[in-house]
Amino acid sequence: MRNCLSLLLMLFMLQGFAQNTVVDVKVQGNERTKTNFIKKITKLKPGMKLDSMLIAEDIYRLKRLPSVSHAYFQVFPANIEGGYNVFYGIEENFTLIPFANVYTSNNDEFAFRIGLQEFNVLGNNITLGGFYQRDIFNSFGAHLRAPYLFSNKLGVAISYQDLITQEPVFLEDGTADYKYNNESFEVLGLYEINFRHRLEAGMNFFTEDYTYLFGSTDPNVPQALNVNKYLYKLIYNYDGIEYYYQYLSGFKSTLNFQYVHSASQQLPEFIIGFNDFTYYIRVGQKGNWANRLRLGLSSNMETPFAPFSVDNNLNIRGVGNTIDRGTGSIVLNTEYRHTLIDKNWFVLQSNVFVDGGSWRNPGGEFSDFSDSQNIRIYPGIGLRFIHKKIFNAIFRIDYGHGITKDAAKGVVFGIGQYF
pLDDT given for residue 293 in this prediction = 98
The whole-number pLDDT of residue 11 equals 52
Tell me: pLDDT of 305 over 60: yes
Q: Is it the case that residue 17 has pLDDT exceeding 50?
A: no
Q: What angle do CA 95, 97, 101 make, to 5 degrees?
A: 145
Degrees, nearest 5: CA angle 395-156-180: 60
Residue 106: pLDDT above 50? no
CA distance 109 to 114: 17
Choose among 115, 193, 190: nearest CA to 158.
Answer: 190
DSSP conformational letter for 361: P
Question: What pLDDT, in 10s, does the model give residues 260-281?
Answer: 998 877 677 899 999 999 999 9
State the pLDDT at residue 230.
94
pLDDT at position 313 is 79
Q: Is the pLDDT of residue 336 over 60?
A: yes
Q: List, in sequence order, every residue forming a beta bridge with 104; answer none if it has no partner.
A: 110
pLDDT (mean) for 45-72: 92
Going by DSSP bridges, is the β-strand pair 21-28/247-262 parallel, antiparallel, or unpaired?
Answer: unpaired
Local structure of residue 196 (DSSP, 8 states): S
Q: What span, in angstroms and rounded, lies between the C-alpha atoms of 46 and 301? A: 58
Question: pTM to 2 decimals?
Answer: 0.82
For domain 2-92, give the CATH superfamily: membrane protein fhac (3.10.20.310)
pLDDT > 80? residue 65:
yes
C-alpha distances in angstroms, 192 versus 5, 94, 98, 201, 326? 29, 25, 28, 12, 33
Q: Same fold for the domain at 2-92 and the one at 96-415?
A: no
Confidence of residue 249 (pLDDT cuts 50, 70, 90): very high
Task: Give pLDDT tens digits for 381-414.
Answer: 999 999 988 887 899 999 999 999 889 998 888 8
Q: To the nearest 5 percent, what fractions of the chain are helix, strand and coil?
A: 10, 60, 30
pLDDT greater than 90 at residue 201 = yes
Task: Band the pLDDT of 167: cuts 50, 70, 90.
Answer: confident
pLDDT at 7 over 70: no
- How confident is the model at residue 392, as a pLDDT? 79
Q: CA-to-CA distance for 243 and 263, rounded, in angstroms?
A: 45
Q: Is the dihedral of CA 157, 150, 28, 54 positive or negative?
A: negative
**Segment 94-118 mean pLDDT:** 79
Domain ranges of the chain: 2-92, 96-415
- Which numeric CATH code is attached to 96-415? 2.40.160.50
